[in-house]
């Protein structure tokens, strides 16, 4: 009886592993890796491929695998391919190096199979099954590699954001001191420019840290207290009018709106919505801000005239690092991270509320709905 491709791989597993290790040694990761690190989970990956080749599959399963639509069991422990990817990422391999390693492993098997004595059956079906098994391992490894690099990227951003706060605070304090001590108008103006730039940097840093927390699954923290939201929003509107004297902001509230809110976070959301309206609304337009009680909820609405936003853009407005249109103040917007509306959405979620956008008839309105209880 002729041996199958699975038999061939099993009988020559050590040779295949050694050839894969030989390739792994050629990858420059800045430091030599020992034999155990290079070998890693390669034998287990080959064993998984052999098991796959020996497992009967239906025509439907064959099509799913060929199209990359097979899903692993989320309750199962991480596979050898997944663990291998994490180890390679931590060892300094790039994603291209990881994929090339699989390519070398595949070539090693197929070359040996082609050169084997005639007693081995060279079934195209078996070769197709083998390629599918390798492709599945590649897909799983790439997925876990990407997750690991994203985790380290978020850790880096978190540490960077935390470490930048101290020197930035020192810059702001020094700028305020220079401004108070300045004897001449030019020096006072320079100190004010420095202070505004520092405050802008702090705002960008705060937004980056909020994004970082959500990406790491930490969530957005709110501290609810009994608050009159009408007064809190009125105070924020006055600050916005002072900081954006060229903007016309009209504020209306239907009396006190009491509830359990994190006032500072709601004010932050309001500021982001008003700044967004000023950036993207029609020049010299009036921005309407309304606070209403809607049953058990408080509804904060911000409306600005302007070109309607397409439905497909509305759907992704609250995604991080996205923008919904072209800002009237393009130069300032280029320095933006595109996180303002994302942060509004996170504040709404943390309160158990929601944020919606409606754009039609020459205006765009954002409705922030917050439970009062």
- Contact between 370 and 261 under an 8 Å Cβ cutoff? The reply is yes
* Distance of alpha carbon 179 from alpha carbon 167, whole angstroms: 18
Q: How many CA atoms lie within 13 A of 198 on its CB side?
A: 19
* Distance of alpha carbon 18 from alpha carbon 83, whole angstroms: 19
Q: What per-residue confidence (pLDDT) applies to 159?
A: 66
Tokens of residue 128, six digits: 């197709």
Q: Which of 177, 290, 282, 286 is nearest to 229 (CA)?
A: 290
* Distance of alpha carbon 50 from alpha carbon 5, whole angstroms: 8
- Contact between 92 and 30 under an 8 Å Cβ cutoff? The reply is yes
Q: What is the pLDDT along the chain (373 residues), one digit of tens a residue?
A: 456 888 888 988 999 889 888 888 888 876 777 888 888 888 898 898 888 888 888 878 777 766 666 655 555 567 888 888 888 887 888 888 888 888 888 888 888 887 776 545 557 778 888 888 888 888 888 888 888 877 777 666 766 666 676 677 778 888 888 877 876 778 878 888 888 888 778 777 777 777 676 665 666 678 899 999 999 999 999 988 887 888 899 999 989 999 999 998 899 899 989 988 998 888 888 999 999 999 899 999 999 998 888 887 887 888 766 655 544 444 444 445 567 888 898 889 889 999 999 998 889 999 999 999 8
| 301 beta partners | 290, 367
Neighbour tally for 281: CB within 10 Å = 23
CA distances (Å), 330 to each of 34, 51, 61, 159, 283, in order? 53, 58, 51, 30, 13
At 238 the three-state DSSP class reads helix
Q: What per-residue confidence (pLDDT) applies to 1?
A: 43
Tokens of residue 305, six digits: 């005239």
Q: What per-residue confidence (pLDDT) applies to 337?
A: 53
Q: What per-residue confidence (pLDDT) applies to 299?
A: 96
Q: How many CA atoms lie within 13 A of 135 on its CB side?
A: 14
pTM: 0.54
Q: Which of 88, 98, 4 is nearest to 51 (CA)?
A: 4
* Distance of alpha carbon 71 from alpha carbon 39, whole angstroms: 27
Q: What per-residue confidence (pLDDT) applies to 366?
A: 95
Cα angle value 176/181/183 (rounded, 5°): 130
- Which CATH number does 225-371 carry? 3.30.565.10
Question: Where along the chain do its domains lie?
Answer: 1-219, 225-371
* Distance of alpha carbon 6 from alpha carbon 130, whole angstroms: 9
């Amino acid at each position: 009886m002729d041996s199958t491709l699975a038999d061939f791989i099993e009988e020559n597993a050590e040779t295949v592993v050694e050839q894969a290790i030989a390739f792994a040694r050629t990858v420059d990761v800045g430091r030599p890796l020992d034999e155990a690190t290079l070998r890693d989970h390669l034998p287990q990956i080959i064993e998984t491929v052999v098991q796959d080749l020996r497992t009967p599959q239906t025509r439907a399963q064959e099509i799913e695998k060929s199209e990359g639509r097979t899903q692993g069991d989320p309750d199962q422990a991480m596979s050898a391919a997944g663990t291998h990817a994490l180890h390679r990422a931590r060892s300094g391999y790039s994603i291209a190096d990881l994929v090339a390693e699989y390519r070398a492993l595949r070539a090693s098997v197929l070359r040996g199979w082609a050169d084997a004595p005639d007693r081995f059956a060279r079934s195209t079906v078996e070769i197709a099954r083998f390629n599918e098994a390798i492709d599945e391992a590649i897909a799983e490894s790439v997925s876990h590699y990407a997750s690991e690099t994203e985790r380290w990227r978020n850790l880096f951003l978190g540490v960077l954001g935390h470490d930048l706060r101290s020197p930035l605070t020192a810059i702001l304090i020094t700028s305020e001191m220079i401004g108070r001590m300045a004897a001449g108008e030019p020096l006072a103006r320079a100190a004010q420019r420095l202070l505004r730039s520092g405050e802008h940097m702090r705002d960008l840093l705060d937004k980056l840290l909020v994004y970082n927390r959500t990406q790491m699954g930490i969530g957005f923290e709110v501290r609810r207290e009994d608050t009159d939201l009408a007064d809190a929003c009125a105070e924020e509107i006055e600050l916005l009018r002072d900081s954006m004297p060229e903007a016309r902001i009209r504020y209306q509230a239907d009396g006190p709106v009491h509830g359990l809110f994190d006032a500072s976070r709601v004010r932050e959301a309001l500021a982001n919505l008003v700044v967004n309206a000023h950036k993207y609304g029609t020049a010299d337009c009036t921005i309407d801000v309304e606070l209403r009680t809607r049953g058990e909820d408080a509804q904060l609405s911000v409306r600005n005239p302007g070109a309607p936003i397409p439905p497909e853009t509305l759907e992704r407005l609250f995604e991080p690092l996205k923008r919904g249109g072209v800002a009237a103040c393009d130069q300032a917007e280029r320095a933006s991270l595109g996180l303002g509306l994302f942060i509004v959405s996170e504040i709404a979620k943390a309160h158990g509320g929601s944020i919606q956008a409606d754009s039609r008839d020459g205006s765009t309105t954002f409705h922030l709905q917050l439970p009062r209880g």
